[in-house]
Amino acid sequence: MNDAFAAESPVVLVTGGSGGIGSATLQRFATGGWRCANADVNDGANHVDMYVSTDVRNVSSCRAAIAGVVSKFGRLDALVNAAGVWHEGVTADTSEEDFDRVIDVNLKGTYFMSAAAIEHLAPTRGCIVNLSSDAGIQGNSGAAAYCASKGGVSLFSKALALELAPTGVRVNAVCPGDVDSPMLRGQARNSGGDERAYYDRLLAGYPQRATARFIRPEEVAEIIWFLAQPHAAAITGANLSIDFGLSAGIFPAD
Ligand SMILES: NC(=O)c1ccc[n+]([C@@H]2O[C@H](COP(=O)([O-])OP(=O)(O)OC[C@H]3O[C@@H](n4cnc5c(N)ncnc54)[C@H](O)[C@@H]3O)[C@@H](O)[C@H]2O)c1
């Protein structure tokens, strides 16, 4: 970190900070003494010093969120792009509206929030952490649009890491498996069948078999926190899996 910034608390901006992973992330950074801002369409997070109403689908809203945070705190040290939406459905039946929503929130939002943050992260030698998914590094049947968005986030993170390496700004993606959050509960509700059966089907895909469980938002937040620390200085351009081995490869069926 630049000496000019060393004396005061660092600042993190989390998009989707009212959601499961986002709010756990804000809590983790607040506990670590950072000043915290939440950019979400809904105001719902605790542990924030600032809420900025933001729709990440809109480029001017992304720019306004970054400008507002920098204007209030005078600096930006980390951007966590956690705003996201899930979409499930076969490709032939996916509407243009659903496709645009998932790409615009997950990929376009991540891209333009990052773009707006760059000039402010360079002076603090800060970092960007993007929420990708196991679906950003392997195909998930029945979720092609979501995979397209998260695959985009994974490779965008790598490309931006290369682009920003000379500035000292690091860019990484975190790729969780199934996390116990409002998103997962919404998936189960919208599955059209029994929610317990939906959860059981997901857990059956994990190599732990009978002992498989969903990941807690706090576990993802801890990885994001780790990536923003000085001891992670050598980590940039990574797609870091936190998925109980879900994406590690093929394992034999029972
Ligand atoms: N829950 C999982 O199983 C899981 C797994 C892998 C990756 N992820 C990813 O992690 C991220 C966080 O997921 P979560 O589980 O916390 O979901 P969540 O639904 O609990 O939270 C998502 C948040 O994004 C906000 N949001 C949605 N559209 C927005 C927009 N246009 N502008 C600003 N904010 C918007 C919502 O209001 C919500 O607060 C997402 O990108 C998701 O795709 C989640």
Using the predicted structure, report yes or no on whether residue 7 has a pLDDT greater than 70: yes
Place of tokens 């615009």: 104
CA of 31 to the centre of ligand 1 (A): 22
- The reply to whether CATH 3.40.50.10470 applies to domain 3-179+217-242 is no
Q: Of the listed 111, 146, 199, 206, which one is catalytic? A: 146
Question: What tokens were used for 227?
Answer: 């990536």
Is 51 a catalytic site residue? no
Residue-wise pLDDT for 39-50, tens only, equals 999 999 888 999
Q: Is 25 left (phi over 0), alpha (psi -120 to 50) or beta?
A: alpha
H or E element at residue 253: none
- Is there an atom of ligand 1 within 6 Å of 243 CB? no
Using the predicted structure, report yes or no on whether residue 1 has a pLDDT greater than 70: no
Residue-wise pLDDT for 98-121, tens only, equals 999 999 999 999 999 999 999 999
Report the predicted TM-score, pTM, of the whole model to 2 decimal places: 0.98
E runs forming strands in 41-100: 50-53, 78-81
Residue-wise pLDDT for 167-183, tens only, equals 999 999 999 999 999 99
- Is there an atom of ligand 1 within 6 Å of 40 CB? yes
Question: What residue ranges do the domains of the chain occupy?
Answer: 3-179+217-242, 180-214
Q: What is the mean pLDDT of residues 16-26?
A: 98
* Mean pLDDT computed over every residue of the chain: 96
- Is there an atom of ligand 1 within 6 Å of 185 CB? no
Using the predicted structure, report yes or no on whether residue 217 has a pLDDT greater than 80: yes
Q: Which of 17, 132, 131 is nearest to 26 (CA)?
A: 17
